[in-house]
């Protein structure tokens, strides 16, 4: 139905019956059944965030243990095998179980709110992506307590990871766990793409989409192309190890180098997958504290897409030392340097936004400004390794480790924590502490640079990566001691942040709907948002709908009025579908109810992979039957999805 009058932002229709009906339609039931069956994007987003931070802590603890081992020469805290398992699981945890899932948490929670929708396009698929991620993580960690964790590095090079060199279950668990994790990443990417294309608020054309959406959209498209490559590589490796194939067995006609190609075709674009959404967080939140829109929205959005496109043609710079032809080295070296151009565009846009604005020095601003500095340092060291002769000297040294941490940790963690401070009021309705937040930032920023900048020096001094100890006369003792000390300072900073987070969740000051005076659509709802997000489907007319109407110029009131109009869809769980380019109203989508089926399907899928790892074929086959039954139940038609207007309604039951 259409309202008789425009509503103010976040206002619920005065007819309490209508509001109560919307809440009953969309609210997840209380209790354990509701906890397992919910498809609410907000709950799923928070689960991603909490789970990812748990793995950040786990990966951090693993790193601290390794830094104690390396703080002094000839240390004996860890055996070589223990160190191999620890640094492998540290890499797997930070790269695959923290870096992308934490960004998926932000996007899952914020996308429908930012886009003016009531949920993601495929709510059940959204729940499935989380459950399969959680079970894949448990699967990967299951062998760790038994001393049989993956031990060939997160890159898992063959022939080191082949059966003749590693006969235990370590590599099998890693290979199958990564295939399982790839399912989660793929279905999540599909959901993001369809949500952007079909679930935007009326008036939100593609040139009005926030940069966070561009970042996650670009990363999702990259995942759809890159993840099949690494999933195929891990499946082929498991077949080599357990079914007798010879894809990577040189003695039987296979090619060991093919592993590196398949892996890095995935792993280098993955760097941008875990960076571009974080850059989107900065691009959207930083202008709020500069009190002006982002400088160069169009170039920043285009640079986001260009970064991912170029990222698919630079994987060879990980293989400069493998003996490839000189022409290939030259072409990929040039591409590796060219990728700095779109990154520089975004960097100059952030600096110009600060320079041309009126910065307000709140806690999120500190993290975003610190990110810009770390981004420049990580980018410069990356361009240096794009020079082939320079890379030959530094390949597999701690210089590369330093660059990797500046890119994957500094460029991810600082925007993420800044984003937590920024959107925490929306998540919980409470504010985090300004004083403690600034303390945490300075401790983290100091600890990060003390920990990782000396690694550049260690690499220049010739210290190779992946070694568990070293002799006292190598000249690396001082830089390793400084790095280890900085690592503990960084850990203290993260601990301060986590304490502030937990305390503020219960005792923080009340935030109100829009404590930062931000301009994007998610701040138009209450904090936290109601189960249905928007009582009225909003119609927008600019990139910053909440900043429209500032001042008294003629025509602004008219724009403001257009933002208040919209539809109330209360005949069941319904959402508005819009056209791809201009976001014009198109169809009414019937959204599915809560169900435990995604959880059950994820459990069966995980047990199927466990059967493959144990070579229990009967068990794997029975779990595969369970998967098939779960899918049938999932797709079985429901009465709630009966079309209300057959000529206009599209079934969105997935």
In this predicted model, what pLDDT tens digit does every residue of 27-36 receive, in sequence order? Answer: 888 888 889 9
Handedness of CA 347, 350, 355, 356 (dihedral sign): positive
Q: pLDDT at residue 158 above 80? A: yes
pLDDT band at 550 (very low <50, low <70, confident <90, very high): low
pLDDT band at 639 (very low <50, low <70, confident <90, very high): low
The arithmetic mean of pLDDT across residues 100-115, rounded, is: 95
What pLDDT is attached to residue 106? 96
Tell me the average pLDDT of the chain: 89
pLDDT band at 556 (very low <50, low <70, confident <90, very high): very low
pLDDT one-digit tens code per residue, 119-134: 999 999 999 999 999 9
- Residue with more model confidence, 103 or 638: 103
Total of domains in the chain: 1
**Contacting residues for 391 by C-beta, under 8 A, at least 6 apart:** 317, 320, 321, 385
Euclidean distance between the first and final Cα of the chain, in Å? 25
345 within some domain: yes
Q: pLDDT at residue 407 above 60? A: yes
650 within some domain: no
557 within some domain: no
614 within some domain: no
Contact between residue 452 and residue 406 where contact means Cβ atoms under 8 Å apart: yes
pLDDT band at 559 (very low <50, low <70, confident <90, very high): very low
513 within some domain: no
521 within some domain: no
pLDDT one-digit tens code per residue, 276-311: 999 999 999 999 999 999 999 999 999 999 999 999
The residue segments making up the domain with residue 343 are 37-507
Q: How far apart are CA 189 and CA 530, in angstroms?
A: 25
Q: How far apart are CA 366 and CA 445, in angstroms?
A: 10
The arithmetic mean of pLDDT across residues 79-101, rounded, is: 94
643: three-class secondary structure by DSSP: coil
Contact between residue 394 and residue 385 where contact means Cβ atoms under 8 Å apart: yes
Q: pLDDT at residue 75 above 60? A: yes
What pLDDT is attached to residue 643? 45
Over pLDDT 90: what percentage of the chain? Answer: 73
Q: How far apart are CA 652 and CA 555, in angstroms?
A: 38
pLDDT band at 648 (very low <50, low <70, confident <90, very high): very low
Class of residue 54 by CB neighbours under 10 A (exposed 0-12, middle 13-18, buried 19+): middle
The arithmetic mean of pLDDT across residues 98-104, rounded, is: 95
Kindly report the CATH number assigned to the domain that includes residue 92: 1.20.210.10
Q: pLDDT at residue 394 above 80? A: yes
pLDDT one-digit tens code per residue, 604-627: 999 999 999 999 999 999 999 999
Q: pLDDT at residue 526 above 80? A: yes
pLDDT one-digit tens code per residue, 187-242: 999 999 999 999 999 999 999 999 999 999 999 999 999 999 999 999 999 999 99
Q: How far apart are CA 107 and CA 25, in angstroms?
A: 23
pLDDT band at 402 (very low <50, low <70, confident <90, very high): very high
20 within some domain: no
Q: How far apart are CA 502 and CA 494, in angstroms?
A: 12
What pLDDT is attached to residue 552? 39
pLDDT band at 147 (very low <50, low <70, confident <90, very high): confident
Contact between residue 391 and residue 314 where contact means Cβ atoms under 8 Å apart: no
Q: How far apart are CA 263 and CA 171, in angstroms?
A: 15
Please give the torsion angle defined by the CA atoms of residues 242, 248, 249 and 253, in that order, rounded to the nearest 10 degrees. Answer: 120
pLDDT band at 637 (very low <50, low <70, confident <90, very high): confident
544 within some domain: no
- Residue with more model confidence, 399 or 148: 399
Nearest to 397 by CA among 333, 470, 472, 329: 470
Q: pLDDT at residue 558 above 60? A: no
What pLDDT is attached to residue 573? 86
**Contacting residues for 199 by C-beta, under 8 A, at least 6 apart:** 112, 115, 117, 120, 121, 575, 576, 577, 578, 589
Q: How far apart are CA 444 and CA 454, in angstroms?
A: 16
Helix H or strand E encompassing 590: strand 585-590
């Amino acid at each position: 139905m259409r309202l008789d009058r425009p509503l103010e932002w976040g206002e619920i229709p005065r007819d309490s019956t209508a509001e109560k009906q919307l809440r009953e339609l969309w609210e997840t039931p209380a209790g354990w059944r509701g906890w397992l069956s919910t498809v609410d994007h907000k709950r799923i987003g928070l689960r991603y965030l909490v789970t990812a931070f748990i793995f950040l802590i786990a990966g951090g603890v693993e790193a601290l243990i390794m830094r104690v081992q390396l703080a002094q020469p000839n240390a004996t805290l860890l055996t070589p095998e223990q160190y191999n398992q620890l640094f492998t699981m540290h890499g797997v945890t930070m790269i695959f179980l923290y870096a992308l899932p934490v960004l998926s948490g932000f996007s899952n929670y914020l996308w429908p709110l930012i886009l003016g929708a009531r949920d993601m396009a495929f709510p059940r698929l959204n729940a499935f992506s989380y459950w399969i991620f959680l079970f894949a993580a448990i699967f990967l960690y299951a062998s760790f307590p038994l001393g049989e964790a993956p031990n060939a590095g997160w890159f898992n090079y063959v022939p080191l990871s082949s059966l003749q060199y590693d006969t235990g279950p370590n590599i099998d668990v890693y290979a199958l766990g990564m295939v399982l994790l790839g399912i989660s990443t793929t279905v999540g990417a599909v959901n993001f793409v369809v949500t952007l294309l079909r679930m935007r608020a009326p008036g939100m054309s593609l040139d009005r989409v926030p940069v966070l959406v561009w970042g996650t959209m670009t990363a999702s498209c990259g995942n759809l192309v890159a993840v099949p490559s690494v999933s195929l590589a891990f499946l082929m490796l498991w077949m080599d190890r357990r079914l007798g194939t010879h894809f990577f067995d040189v003695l039987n006609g296979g090619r060991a180098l093919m592993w590196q190609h398949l892996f890095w075709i995935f792993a280098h674009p993955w760097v941008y997958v875990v960076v571009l959404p974080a850059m989107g967080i900065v691009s959207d939140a930083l202008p709020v504290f500069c009190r002006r829109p982002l400088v160069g929205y169009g170039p920043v959005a285009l640079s986001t897409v260009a970064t991912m496109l170029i990222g698919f043609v630079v994987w060879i710079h990980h293989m400069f030392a493998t003996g490839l032809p000189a022409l290939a080295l030259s072409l990929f070296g040039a591409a590796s340097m060219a990728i700095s151009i779109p990154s520089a565009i975004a960097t100059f846009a952030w600096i110009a936004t600060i320079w041309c604005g009126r910065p307000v020095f709140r806690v999120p601003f500190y993290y975003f400004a610190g990110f810009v500095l770390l981004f420049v340092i990580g980018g410069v060291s990356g361009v240096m390794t794009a020079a082939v002769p320079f890379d030959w000297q530094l390949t597999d040294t701690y210089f590369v480790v330093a660059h990797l941490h500046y890119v994957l940790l500094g460029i991810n963690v600082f925007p993420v924590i800044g984003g937590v401070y920024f959107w925490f009021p929306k998540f919980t309705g409470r504010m985090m502490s300004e004083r403690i937040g600034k303390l945490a930032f300075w401790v983290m920023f100091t600890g990060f640079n003390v920990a990782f900048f000396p690694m550049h020096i260690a690499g220049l001094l010739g210290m190779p990566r992946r070694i568990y100890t070293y002799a006292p006369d190598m000249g690396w003792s001082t830089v390793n001691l400084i790095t280890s000390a900085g690592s503990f300072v960084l850990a203290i900073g993260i601990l301060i942040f986590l304490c502030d987070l937990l305390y503020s969740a219960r005792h923080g000051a009340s935030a109100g709907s829009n404590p930062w005076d931000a301009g994007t659509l998610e701040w138009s709802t209450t904090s936290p948002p109601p189960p249905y997000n928007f009582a009225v489907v909003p119609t927008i007319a600019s990139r910053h709908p909440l900043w429209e109407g500032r001042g008294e110029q003629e025509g602004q009131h008219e724009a403001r009025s257009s933002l208040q109009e919209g539809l109330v869809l209360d005949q069941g769980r319904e959402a508005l579908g819009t056209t791809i380019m201009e976001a014009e109203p198109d169809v009414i989508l019937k959204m599915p109810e809560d169900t435990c089926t995604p959880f059950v399907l994820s459990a069966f899928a995980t047990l199927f992979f466990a059967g493959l790892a144990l070579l229990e074929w009967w068990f794997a086959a029975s779990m595969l039957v369970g998967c098939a039954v779960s899918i049938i139940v999932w797709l079985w038609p429901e009465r709630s999805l009966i079309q209300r207007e057959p000529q206009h309604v599209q079934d969105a039951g997935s």
